[in-house]
């Protein structure tokens, strides 16, 4: 298996310390703190370790504090309920004695029922589209070095935008984004693993969709963005090592918060998952650039 993908899988597996307590490490992907998708994916993994014979169908997470990449994260699972068809778990991610994330996840036995789905947007297939690594040199020169390393380095996922993302773009655009995503190598037939990896990758670029109509970009240091919550619903089985279209839009921004939602489709049009996220989106001026810190620590 591709070493970068293999490392991510190991990162999401966690170490069991006690029956309901797990420990995870972190990886620096170029952000100022632990990547939120990593904490969500690990928290889901911790919950999965305490459930048998049932598959996750939804999760809801609140980000409380920024994560420290140099310290382990402890995941404490509360087995809230095991019913006839559903199980519910509450997970608290802890660093330095304080919670950094709360997550609730619900699991269900496999059963049939009504079936309909939204239609996939009419977009070009991933073949022929450029990967995110193929970014113009003039754009790379204007983004932070850590982000530049992420953009051009080896990653566990391929990202093929339907339209160029324009990381340093100043034009005001509609609040919509379409990206094909896929793991860089084949994976085992383990739906829990595919769900963990989707939880991880679903945090990429979602909140940033809410900045598109305003010509803002964190690469230009004129906006602070911090995820406040993240929700994910799994509708159907899928494989993250096969192409999924991530269709994102932002119907609202107000009160220094942006709201975005997403749908993930297989190449043949099956809707397999939906996401939503709200985050703090705060425009900053030159004077405030010198005293930026995590807005969640100030609230």
Distance CA 68, CA 90 (A): 22
The pLDDT of residue 180: 97
The pLDDT of residue 234: 98
Q: Single out the residue of 149, 139, 205, 203 nearest to residue 169, CA to CA.
A: 139
Give pLDDT < 50 ranges for the chain. 286-287, 289-291, 299
Distance CA 77, CA 99 (A): 13
- CB of 36 closer than 8 Å to CB of 205: no
The pLDDT of residue 286: 45
- CB of 55 closer than 8 Å to CB of 85: no
In degrees and rounded to multiples of 5, residue 99 shows phi and psi of -70, 135
The pLDDT of residue 290: 45
The pLDDT of residue 216: 80
- CB of 108 closer than 8 Å to CB of 57: yes
pTM metric for this prediction: 0.90
Which residues are the active-site residues? 203, 227, 277
Q: Single out the residue of 118, 214, 202, 131 nearest to residue 165, CA to CA.
A: 131
- Taking residue 83's Cβ as centre, other Cβ atoms within 10 Å add up to 9
Q: Single out the residue of 15, 1, 73 nearest to residue 40, CA to CA.
A: 73
The pLDDT of residue 287: 38
Domains (ranges, CATH) in the chain? Answer: 3-110+125-298 (2.40.160.210)
Distance CA 59, CA 200 (A): 12
DSSP 148: H
The pLDDT of residue 164: 74
- CB of 39 closer than 8 Å to CB of 93: yes
């Amino acid at each position: 298996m591709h070493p970068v993908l293999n490392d991510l899988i190991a990162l999401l597996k966690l170490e069991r310390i006690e029956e309901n307590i797990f420990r995870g490490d972190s990886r620096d992907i170029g952000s100022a703190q632990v990547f939120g998708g990593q904490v969500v994916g690990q928290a889901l993994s911790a919950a999965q370790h305490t459930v048998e014979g049932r598959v996750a169908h939804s999760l809801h997470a609140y980000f409380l504090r920024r994560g420290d990449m140099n310290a382990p994260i402890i995941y404490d699972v509360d087995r809230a309920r095991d019913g006839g068809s559903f199980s519910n778990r509450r997970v608290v991610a802890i660093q330095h004695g304080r919670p950094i994330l709360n997550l609730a996840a619900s699991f269900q036995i496999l059963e049939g029922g009504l079936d309909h789905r939204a239609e996939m947007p009419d977009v070009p297939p991933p073949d022929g589209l450029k990967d995110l690594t193929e970014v113009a040199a003039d754009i790379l020169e204007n983004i932070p070095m850590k982000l530049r390393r992420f953009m051009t380095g080896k990653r566990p996922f391929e990202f093929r935008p339907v339209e160029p993302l324009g990381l340093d773009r100043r034009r005001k655009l509609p609040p919509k984004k379409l990206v094909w995503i896929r793991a860089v190598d084949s994976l085992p037939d383990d739906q829990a693993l595919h769900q963990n990896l989707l939880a991880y990758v679903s945090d990429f670029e979602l909140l940033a969709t809410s900045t598109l109509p305003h010509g803002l970009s964190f690469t230009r240091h004129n906006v602070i963005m911090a995820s406040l919550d993240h929700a994910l619903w799994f509708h159907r089985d899928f494989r993250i090592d096969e192409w999924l279209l991530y269709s994102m839009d932002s119907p609202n921004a107000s009160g220094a918060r942006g709201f975005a939602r997403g749908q993930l489709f297989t190449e043949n049009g099956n809707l397999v998952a939906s996401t939503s996220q709200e985050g703090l989106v705060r425009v900053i001026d030159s004077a405030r650039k010198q005293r930026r810190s995590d807005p969640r620590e100030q609230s």
